[in-house]
Chains A and B, each alone.
Chain A
Amino acid sequence: AVSHYRLFPKALGRLVAALGVRELHLALTQGFWRTRAWGQPPLQAPAGAELWVWFQPTVTDVDKAWKELSNILSGIFCASLNFIDSTNTVTPTASFKPLGLANGTDHHLLRYAVLPREVVCTENLTPWKKLLPCGSKAGLAVLLKAERLFHSSYHSQAVHIRPICRDASCLAVSWELRQTLTVVFDTFSSGQGKKDWSLFKMFSRTLTDACPLASQSKVYVDISPKNKEKELLEVTPPPASVHEAIVQGDKRTYAVYDLLSPSLFNTSRSLNVQLKWKRPQDSSELPTPVLHAQRYVSGYGLQTGEISTLIYNTHPYRAFPVILLETVPWYLRLYVHTLTIITKGKENKPSYIHYQPAQDRRRPHLLEMLIQLPANSVTKITIQFERALLKWTEYPPDPNHGFYVSSSVLSALVPSVIAMKDVDVEQSPLFTSLFPSSDGSSYFVRLYTEPLLVNLPTPDFSMPYNVICLTCTVVAVCYGSFYNLLTRTFHVEEPSRGGLAKRLANIIRKFRGVPPL
C-alpha cells in the first residue's frame, strides 16, 4: 500500500492499493514511430491506447478488477478506456513479463488490451501533467504546452507503475511511478528546411528553474558523433559535463545540463538549449536498427484477406529469438492452418506457439509465437482470415471507415554490437533503466507494428423493417400454401347463385347490354 502522498499522486496510489495492482503500464499514442526514418525508438507504444496490468496474487476475480481498473483510469486520464472489455482483452503467456520486482509469474494475473481507435489530445495531456509533483509550474514540465506538443509527427505519453528496490541492498520495496513523453517534432517543415533546433523554437518556452521537490533534474542532449567526425554540431550554452553511455547497443555521448546546479542559470534565469549544425546535412544517416518489423494486410474483396508481418534482423552475424504477439478481433476469423513462416526461402517452424482462437462476440484471437531469426535475414509470417458479417447494431457510426486491428508486439533480447559493462543504476540516465537487462551483451527491445485497417461487408442499414417484412412474407407463403393443402380437401365446384357482389355486377351488365356472369 502507498502511504506517502508527498510525491506520489493520490489518485494512482489509492487505485493501486484498492484493486491489488502489482504493475500498471498505460500508454496513449498518436501517430506511428517510423523506425527506418527515425531509428530505434527509446520506448515505443502502439497507436491508440495500450494498457497492461499485472495483478497481485491476492486478487481473486481478476476480470472484475480489470474492468474496474479500466473504468477508473478512463476517468483519471479522460480517455475512453471504458471500451476495454472481454472482446479486446487477452492474457498473453510469454510476451509481457513483469518489469518490476516479482515473486512468481502466473500469467493468469496479467491482462493486456489495446484500443487502436483511440485519439490522444490536449485533454489527455492535462491529467498526465497533473500527476507530476510540481505539475506544469516548475521544472522540466513547464515546456509541455499542448499547442506545440500536438504539432508533431508522433506523440506518446505513458505512465508506468512498478515496485522496485528502495536501495541496493533491496531490504524494502517502494512504488515507482515513471511518466514518459515521447514527441517527434518535424523541424524541416517549421524551421525553414534547416535541422537546427532550440528549446524556444520547439516549445515556445524556455526552462526557468528546477522543481523544488526534485532530487534530480537534468537535460540530456545527444551529441554522438557520426562516422568519427568531430565538430559537426555545436550546442549552446556549452554543457557543464558530458556523459557517455551505451544505449540500445550504441555508444552515445550526451551533453548534460543539470538544472539543480546554481551555475546554470546565470543572468537571465532562463535556459534555452540550442543546437546548430556546422555543415549542412544532405541526408540523415541513422543506423538501421538491428530489429525492425512491418505489417500489412493484403487480398481483395470483402470476403477473405491475409495478414503479413515482415521481421528484419540486420545483425551481421548473430541470430536471436523474438516473441511475436498478435491480437486479432473476433470478426476476422483467422485460419491457423494457413499460418506460414518463411525465412530466406525456407520454412521456419516456431519453437513455441500459443494460439487461442476467438469466440464470437466474447474473445479475440491470441497468437503468440517464439521465432528464431537467423542473422541478416527477413522473416515473413502470413496468416489468412475471413471477414464476418456483423449484426447491424455492431457497426460503428462510420462503418465504411473500416475496423482497426491493433498492432502486434515483438519482444526480443537483441544482442548489442558493443558490449555494455554493468553500470551503476544511480549514474545512468533515467531513460535507460526501464527495462531490466540481465547481462551486458544484449538489451531488451519491445517493438510494435503498424495497426491495420480492414473493411467488413456491411448490410444495408436502412432496411431492418423491410427485411423483417419480406422474410416473414416468404415464410408466410410457405405456411399459407401448406395450410391450404393440409386442411382443405378437393370438392367439385358447385355453381353458386352468386353473392351480393355478383348480383350487383350482373345488374350493371344488364344495363350495359353485356351477357351476365
Chain B
Amino acid sequence: VVEGLALLDLGVSPYSGAIFHETPLIIYLFHFLIEYAELVFMITDVLTAVALYLAIQDFNKVVFKKQKLLIELDKYAPDVAELIRTPMEMHYIPLKVALFYLLNPYTVMSCVAKSTCAINNTVIAFFILATIKGSAFLSAVFLALATYQSLYPLTLFAPALLYLLQRQFIPIKLKSKSFWLYTMQYAALYLCSLVVIICLSFFLLNSWDFIPSVYGFILSVPDLTPNIGLFWYFFAEMFEHFSLFFVCVFQINVFFYTIPLAIKLKEHPVFFMFVQIAIISIFKSYPTVGDIALYMAFLPVWSHLYRFLRNIFILSCVLIVCSLLFPVLWHLWIYAGSANSNFYYAITLTFNVGQILLISDYFYAFLRREYYLTHGLHLTRQDGTEAMLVLK
C-alpha cells in the first residue's frame, strides 16, 4: 500500500506496475491514515472482535429460541437431555469468541505485519453482524464491500440469504413465490451496492485499470511469491501447457462447495457460513494467517460438539507444529540456504491438510449431533445391542 501511495504521488498509476493489487478505496483510505497505520490496524482488530461478540450474542438468542420451538414441537427424541444447550453454558460464548479472535497468535502476527487482510476481516465481521441482526440492506452493503476487496466472499451470499429467509419465516421451496421475491430483492441490493462501489473506484482514479490488477490478479495467480497456501509451488512447477486448465480448476474449487453445502445445511445457515469462510481461507489464491484467524474465532460457538470430534488432538498438534515450523523452514530456505523449497512446501501441504481435516471433523460432529437429537442418544440395533453409527 505504501508503494501504491508513492506511485500515486509520482503521478504514475499505481496499477501500471505489478506490485500493487489493492482496491482504490484502500488507497484513498490510507492516504489519510498512513501515519497512524499501527493504530488503524489495532482499531480494526478491536472492531472485528466487537462485531463478532455482538453477532454471536444475537446468534445464541436465536439458537435458544429455535431449540425451545423444536422441543415444544416434540421434534427431539426423549433421551437427548444432555445434548440440549442451556443458557448457562452459552453465556460466555460471545466473550470467548472475541477473545479467541483477539488473542489468536495469527491475529497478532497479522496486525504487526499491517496486512490489509485485517480490514477484510473487519468487513466480513460486520457483514455477519448485519446478517444475524436481520438487516438485509446493511448485510448486502458489507458483502459487496468484502467482495469488492477480495473476490471470494461472493460465496457468502448463499448462507446470508438462507439466514435472512429463515428469519423472515419464508420456507425454502423452489416453487414458492415469496422465496424468489426475497432472493431477488437481496440479490438486487447486493449487486447495486457492488456496482456503486466499483463506479466510485473508477471515479477516484479515473480509469478501469484496477479491475485487471485486483480481480485479474486474484483469478489468474501470476505472482508466485511463497505463501501458506497450496497454489504457489503448484504453479511454479506447472507445465506451461496446462496452467490455464489448472488455474480454472483451482478457482472453481473454491466456489464449488457452495451449492452442495447450501442444500445440506439449509437449516443451519450460520454453520454453513463458518464452513464457507473456512473453505475460502484455505483455497483462496493468496491466503494469509489473518484469514485463518477469522474462522478460528468461531470455534467456541461449536464447543458443544467437542464430544463428537474424532481427531481433535492430533489435528491441533499438527496445526501448532506446522505454524511453528513455517518460519523455521522459510529461514532455512531463503536465508540460510541449507534447505530446499521442498521443505517449506511440505509444511504448506501438512498445514492445509490439517485445516481441511479440522473443518471436516467439525462438520462430521455437527451432523452427528443433529442425528442424535432426532433419533436419540442411545441407539440400539434391531436385536437390542449397542449400535454403531456409520455414514452410508
Contact residues of A with B, CB < 8 Å?
Answer: 300-303, 330, 333, 335-337, 353, 355-361, 365, 386, 388-393, 457-460, 463-464, 467-468, 470-471, 474-475, 477-479, 481-482, 484-495
Contact = CB atoms under 8 A, between A and B. Distances in A.
Interface stretch (B51-59, B101-109, B156-164, B223-231): B223-231
Contacts of A470: 349
Given A389-B225, A464-B238, A491 B389 contact: yes
- Which 4 A-B pairs give the minimum distances between C-beta atoms? A357-B17, A337-B6, A481-B360, A301-B335
B207 interface: no
B92 interface: no
A453 to B, nearest CB: 16
A252 B1 CA distance: 55
A143 to B, nearest CB: 48
Contacts of A393: 240
B7 A336 contact: yes
Interface size for chain B: under 10, 10 to 19, 20 to 34, or 35 or more residues?
A: 35 or more
Contacts of B16: 356-357, 359
Nearest to A487: B260
A390 B382 CA distance: 62
A392 B282 CA distance: 24
B353 A474 contact: yes
A485 B222 contact: no
B101 to A, nearest CB: 24
B78 to A, nearest CB: 17
A474 B352 contact: yes
Interface stretch (B117-125, B131-139, B192-200, B339-347): B339-347
A485 B240 contact: no
B345 A493 contact: no
B224 A388 contact: yes
Contact of B340 (A360, A392, A460): A460
Contacts of B260: 482, 486-487
B233 interface: yes
A302 to B, nearest CB: 5
Given A360-B223, A490-B368, A464 B335 contact: no
A481 B356 contact: yes
B73 to A, nearest CB: 22
A24 B260 CA distance: 64
A467 B17 contact: no
Contacts of B387: 492-493
Contact of A457 (B279, B334, B342, B363): B334
Given A468-B237, A490-B389, 18 more contacts: A302-B333, A302-B337, A335-B6, A357-B7, A357-B12, A357-B19, A360-B222, A457-B341, A459-B237, A460-B341, A467-B237, A478-B279, A486-B264, A487-B260, A489-B391, A489-B392, A493-B390, A495-B381
B18 interface: yes
Contacts of B82: none
Contacts of B333: 302, 457
Given A488-B392, A491-B390, A336 B10 contact: yes
Interface in B230-257: 230, 232-240, 250, 253, 257
B357 interface: yes
B367 A490 contact: yes
- Interface residue SS majority, chain A: mixed
Given A388-B225, A393-B240, A491-B392, A353 B10 contact: yes
21 contacts: A302-B334, A336-B7, A337-B5, A355-B12, A358-B17, A388-B223, A389-B236, A391-B238, A391-B240, A467-B345, A471-B349, A475-B250, A477-B356, A478-B279, A478-B283, A478-B360, A492-B387, A492-B388, A492-B389, A493-B389, A495-B381
B357 A357 contact: no
A463 B344 CA distance: 14
Contact of B390 (A482, A487, A490): A490
Interface string B1-33: 011011100101000111100000000000000
A392 B18 contact: no
A488 B392 CA distance: 5
B378 to A, nearest CB: 11
B224 A389 contact: yes
Contact of A482 (B340, B360, B381): B360
Nearest to A491: B392
Nearest to B260: A486
Contacts of A493: 381, 387-390
Contacts of B6: 335-337
Contacts of A365: 17
